[in-house]
């Protein structure tokens, strides 16, 4: 399966990039601010959360605006990827019913689209780190590695949801509720490990994958703290396992998707 997967990545990589660029152009076609909206959305959310939790509730977290903004960027990539995966086969019905492409390439195309948006927003994050005088340390490479594992985890979850989303219409509603719950339990605007009473805070931070990824990335990027490598390795193995299960399932059942959509 791995050989077939890598061969399909090479064969359809142009399709993925072309589809991502086309979707990017379509998103901003009738917008006055174009790609600026990709920066304004997390930036405005950051300002709201900074005011609410920093001023109203009195959070004393160091570099708090950067703390929130960095968490929002990672969360937005994950939530957009997962949410899209449920409906991506139905949304691309014209492609699916007319030509053959491995169905996970539709997901990869969307991840590339979200990755381009993320790259632009990360430039703003770098500027904010300079403004708030966040010290740069070699731990920035650990933060990049955490991002890589998060990408793999998002792809693994999304391939599984892609399959079931074809057959279960109500799955989108259930996942929307779950995503909303995860948002408040993932420490986007606070540190779960220290906010929740011990030892439950640390347990929740390790068992919730996005809480762990966000806290590990921010700890390395903003404070030069090495994440728990054992837990990081566990989530890396789980992420790869999810990818194997998801891609294998798609290969096995993708021919039946045409009959459903």
pLDDT tens column, 126-170: 988 998 899 989 999 999 999 999 999 999 999 999 999 999 888
Q: What is the mean pLDDT of the chain?
A: 87
Specify the pTM. Answer: 0.90
pLDDT at 245: 96
Mean pLDDT calculated for residue range 192-221 = 85
Give the gyration radius of the chain's Cα atoms: 19
What are the tens digits of pLDDT across the range 65-110? 889 889 989 999 999 999 999 999 988 888 888 888 999 999 999 9
**Chain position carrying tokens 């993925």:** 16
70 closest CA partner among 42, 39, 51, 111: 42
pLDDT at 105: 94
Tokens matching residue 218: 């921010």
Neighbouring CB atoms inside 10 A of 202's CB total 15
Based on the number of CB atoms within 10 Å of its own CB, is 184 exposed (0-12), middle (13-18) or buried (19 or more)? exposed
């Amino acid at each position: 399966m791995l050989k077939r997967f890598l061969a399909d990545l090479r064969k359809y990589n142009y399709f993925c990039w072309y589809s991502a660029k086309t979707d990017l152009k379509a998103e901003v076609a009738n917008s006055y601010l174009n790609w600026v909206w990709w920066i304004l959305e997390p930036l405005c959310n950051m300002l709201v959360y900074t005011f609410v939790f920093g001023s109203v509730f009195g959070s004393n977290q160091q570099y708090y605006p950067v703390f929130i903004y960095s968490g929002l960027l990672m969360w937005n990539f994950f939530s957009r990827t997962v949410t899209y995966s449920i409906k991506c086969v139905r949304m691309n019905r014209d492609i699916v019913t007319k030509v053959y492409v491995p169905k996970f390439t539709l997901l990869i195309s969307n991840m590339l689209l979200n990755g381009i948006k993320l790259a632009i927003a990360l430039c703003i994050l770098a500027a904010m780190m300079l403004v708030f005088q966040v010290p740069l340390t070699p731990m920035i490479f650990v933060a990049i590695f955490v991002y890589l594992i998060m990408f793999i985890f998002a792809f693994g979850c999304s391939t599984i949801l892609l399959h079931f989303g074809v057959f279960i219409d109500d799955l989108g509603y259930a996942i929307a509720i779950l995503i909303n719950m995860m948002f408040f339990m993932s420490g986007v605007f606070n540190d779960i490990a220290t906010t929740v009473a011990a030892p439950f805070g640390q347990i929740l931070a390790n068992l919730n994958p996005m809480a762990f990824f966000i806290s590990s990335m921010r700890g390395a990027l903003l404070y030069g703290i090495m994440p728990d490598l054992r837990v990081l390795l566990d989530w890396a193995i789980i992420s790869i396992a999810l990818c194997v299960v998801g891609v294998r399932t798609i290969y096995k059942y993708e021919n039946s998707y045409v009959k459903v959509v």
